[in-house]
Amino acid sequence: MGNKRIIIMGASSGIGYEVARLFIDRGWLVGLAARRTDLLSELQAQAPERVRIQGIDITDQEADQALQYLIAALGGMDIYLHVSGIGKQNKTLDPEIEENTFQTNVVGFGRMVGAVYRYFSQKGKGQIAVVSSIAGTKGLGVAPAYSATKRFQNTYIQALAQLARMEGCHIDFTDIRPGFVDTALLSGTQHYPMLMRPEKVARQIVSAIEHRRRVVVIDWRYAVITYIWQLIPRWVWERMVVRTRRK
Q: What is the pLDDT of residue 70?
A: 98
Q: What is the pLDDT of residue 194?
A: 72
- SS3 call for 101: helix
Residues 153, 62, 14: CA angle, nearest 5 degrees: 50
Q: How many CB atoms lie within 10 A of CB 120?
A: 22
Q: What is the pLDDT of residue 62?
A: 96
Q: What is the pLDDT of residue 31?
A: 98
Whether 129 contacts 212, CB under 8 Å: no
Q: Is-above-0.85 flag for pTM?
A: yes
**Which CATH number covers residue 181?**
3.40.50.720
Whether 71 contacts 31, CB under 8 Å: yes
Q: What is the pLDDT of residue 125?
A: 96
The whole-angstrom separation of Cα 51 and Cα 42 is 11
Detail the DSSP E strand segments found in the chain.
5-9, 29-34, 51-55, 79-82, 125-131, 170-178, 190-191, 215-218, 245-246
Whether 212 contacts 174, CB under 8 Å: yes
Q: What is the pLDDT of residue 155?
A: 98
State which residues form the domain around 61: 5-246
Q: What is the pLDDT of residue 246?
A: 42
Cβ burial of 45 (10 Å; 0-12, 13-18, 19+) is: exposed
Biggest CA pair distance of the chain: 56
Q: What is the pLDDT of residue 189?
A: 47
The whole-angstrom separation of Cα 7 and Cα 85 is 16
**Domain count across the chain:** 1
DSSP state of 93: -
Q: What is the pLDDT of residue 191?
A: 55
The pLDDT profile of the chain, 247 residues, written as one tens digit per residue, is 447 999 999 999 889 999 999 999 999 999 999 998 998 999 999 999 999 999 999 999 999 999 999 999 999 999 999 999 998 889 999 999 999 999 999 999 999 999 999 999 999 999 999 999 999 999 999 999 999 999 999 999 999 999 999 999 999 999 999 988 766 554 454 555 677 888 999 999 999 999 999 999 998 999 999 999 999 999 999 998 865 544 3
The whole-angstrom separation of Cα 68 and Cα 116 is 9
Partners of residue 80 on adjacent β-strands: 7, 128
